[in-house]
Amino acid sequence: MEQKAPLGMKRAGKMRVFSRPRFTLVVAPLLLLTILAVLPLFGPGPNIIRLLFVTFVWVTVSVAWNILGGFGGQVSFGFAVFYGLGAFTAALAINGGVNPVLSFLLAGSVALLASLLVGLPTFRLKGPYFAIATIGVSEAVRVVMTNFSLTGGASGYRIMETGAFHQLQHFYTALALAVVAVAVSILVRRSNLGLALIAIREDEEAASDLGVNPFRVKLLAHALAAALTGAAGGVYARYAAFIHPQGVFAFYIGVAILLMPIIGGVGTIWGPVIGAVVYGLVHEELIASFPQFHLLLYGSLLILIILFEPGGVVGLLDKSFRILARARGTSGSHP
């Protein structure tokens, strides 16, 4: 039965996350990946390699957080817990002679278990209360780990790895992990889990009324995100060779982890990647030149984004393409 839209109402526009054709979304990333993979062969220098390494780690964590926070709308301030636990697990394992790759897997597993411990009590809480509870979890874990003598307490823990290895090992490990994270993110988004997460984000009650088990879905997403984050922490720990609780469990890490997807475009696939790149580059340069401004920068950025462009970089790009398309005369939305 045909029904005309009531007079005066905007025509329901076609819904698009990104106006560009899908072709570009597939080719561009693959191209980028190839470039990154062969980049070291062109001798870019250790500083660039280091910068890229750190960015890959951030990409992993940002994409991981977005699975729960972006798709599912469950904002956690406490992902530093998983990052730190992963770092320490991998450090302990490597020092114990365990193969590094296995150590990273172990790191991810420990983080996964931790996510269940955290999620079981906190996912009963509605959105903002969950967020605040995660602040508490993060701080409590930091306090406990700072006093935990097994891992050196506040003075930190050093990794003593036997056997030679090349700086490039770190580079490629981190790149591989980032690729895995993005792949997981895409798979989740297209799966039932992804649809369930989005439904929960939009309206948890309605989702439940239709048969979605919110608790189980959140726990699952949380576990995936935590595992990836823990592995990233492990990869970073091996690179840094020395970690301490005030560093890896720091509150600002939890902040950075959620800031990246928000900057880039929370809830999208590539937003977190873009946000991580922006954050990684800016952060590394900033920390070098103006360390005393970084909280100010992130706070202001957060305020501006929330108030003016909640869609982040992706949202901005989307809007600009729409404006461009309209200016060119073709309609960006289909009837």
Partner 1 sequence: MAPILSVDRVTKYFAGLAALKEVSFDVEQGGICGLIGPNGAGKTTLLSIIAGSLRPNSGAVIFQGRVLGGTKSFEAAQAGIVRTHQIPKPFRGLSVLANVEVGMRFGRSQRSAGDTHEAQRILEWVGIAHLAQAAAGRLSVGDQKRLELARALAAGPSLLLCDEVCSGLTESETMSVLRLLREIRKAGTTILYVEHNLGAIMSVCDHVIVMNYGQKLAEGSPEAMQKDPSVIEAYIGTTAGT
Partner 2 sequence: MSAVDLLNLLVAAFLLAGVYAAMSVGMTIIYGVMKIVNLAHAGFLMLGAYFVYELYVRFGIDPLVGVALAFPVFFFIGMAVHWLLIRRIPPSDQPTLTSLLLLFGLWLVLQNLGYLIWGNADRAILTPRTLSMLGVGPISFPTVRLVVFAVAVTSLGGLEFVLHKTWFGRAVRALMQNRDAGRIVGVNVERTARVAFGVGIAFAGAAGGLLAMLFSFSPDFGGPFLLRAFVIIVLGGLESFAGVAVGALILALVETFSILVLPANYQPAIAFSLLVVALVVLPDGVAGLWNKRHRWA
Site residues (vs partner 1, CB under 8 A): 1-3, 5-6, 9-10, 12-15, 191-192, 195-196, 198-199, 201-203, 205-214, 334
Task: Identify which range of 21-29, 72-80, 273-281, 320-328 contacts partner 2 by CB under 8 A.
Answer: 72-80
Q: Give me the least distance between CB of 222 and partner 1, in Å please.
A: 18
Residue 236 interface partner, choices partner 2, partner 1, none, CB cut-off 5-8 Å depending on type: none
| Tokens linked to 62 | 């940002």
The binder of partner 2 chosen from 210, 293, 320, 324 (CB under 8 A): 293
Amino acid making up residue 108: G
| Tokens linked to 142 | 């930091």
Q: Give me the least distance between CB of 77 and partner 2, in Å please.
A: 8
Length of the chain: 335
Q: Which of 288, 312, 281 is nearest to 54 (CA)?
A: 281
E strand or H helix that includes residue 280: helix 271-289
The binder of partner 2 chosen from 31, 303, 323, 324 (CB under 8 A): 303
The binder of partner 2 chosen from 17, 49, 98, 132 (CB under 8 A): 132
Encode burial over 157-178: b for 16+ CB neighbours within 10 A, e otherwise. Answer: bebeeeeeeeeeebbebbbebb
| Total site size for partner 2, rule CB under 8 A | 40
| Tokens linked to 280 | 């990684």
Q: Give me the least distance between CB of 219 and partner 1, in Å please.
A: 14
Encode burial over 257-282: b for 16+ CB neighbours within 10 A, e otherwise. Answer: bbbbbbbbbbbbbbbbbbbbbbbbee
The binder of partner 2 chosen from 122, 151, 185, 229 (CB under 8 A): 122
Q: Give me the least distance between CB of 117 and partner 2, in Å please.
A: 11
Kindly state whether residue 253 participates in binding partner 2, applying the rule CB under 8 A: no
